[in-house]
Amino acid sequence: MPVTNAEASLVASSIEILTTGIAAANGPVWLACSFSLEDVAIIDMAHSAGIPLGLFALDTGRLNEETYEVADALVNRYGVRIDWYFPKHGAVEHLERTDGLFSFRDSLEKRHVCCGIRKVEPLSRALHGASGWVTGMRREQSVTRSDLVAIGTDDLQGGIIKINPLLEWSEEQVVAYTERGSLPKNRLYGRGYRSIGCAPCTRAVEIGEDARAGRWWWENPEHKECGLHRR
């Protein structure tokens, strides 16, 4: 099936956002890769356009096996290097010994503590020395992302450039792009998952639910961020 003018325009716009954001950063720029369809699409676009983009991933210690499979597939297909960052083991040991293995389900505050240890602190190390970072966030994903901008600054990370090249894409457009190129895809998508994070915090969604309904499903929609992308 040939690429339509609308699809080509969407891809061109995303590549322009990437190149403009990287130029504005004027230094090292990294993609924070969770191996979602969005991140895979960005990697493919950057590779096709010859855009230099570093990759890092946060291994929280609770990822699904299927997520690691995508990581290997990306390395094999594109020859990329993925820099992995892990939570500090002492902090994880203290958390689990003190509050147990599932304290994040007790309250929003405790969930933020867990995310802070497993995601937010490793992110700060991953972005140390970076001038910008790229995410696969889209506006339609949730109420917490409705005010995304294509290129902005991240005050939580010292004011570095934050680039969101897919902000205007729909879920259907992302799926179509990845299927057209037969790109690596997490097998959990085929089991009803539409947003994939840590295994205990992610489930398949029901018909009629939004894409992020399976993330922290015991919380209200306006709370469904881990701290990496606080507004």
Q: Considering the candidates 115, 198, 201, 226, report the single residue annotated as catalytic.
A: 226
β-strand 151-154 against 160-163: which pairing, if any?
antiparallel
- 226 tagged catalytic: yes
Q: What is the dihedral of CA 90, 91, 96, 98, to 10 degrees?
A: 100
CB 201 within 8 A of CB 189: no
- What's the rounded Cα separation, in Å, for the pair 224 and 213? 9
Q: Can you say whether the dihedral through the CA atoms of 48, 175, 171, 40 is positive or negative? A: negative
Task: Calculate Rg over the CA atoms of the chain.
Answer: 17
Question: What's phi and psi for 28, nearest 5 deg?
Answer: -60, 135
For residue 84, give the 3-state DSSP assignment.
strand
Beta bridge partners of 32: 56
Active site positions, annotated: 226
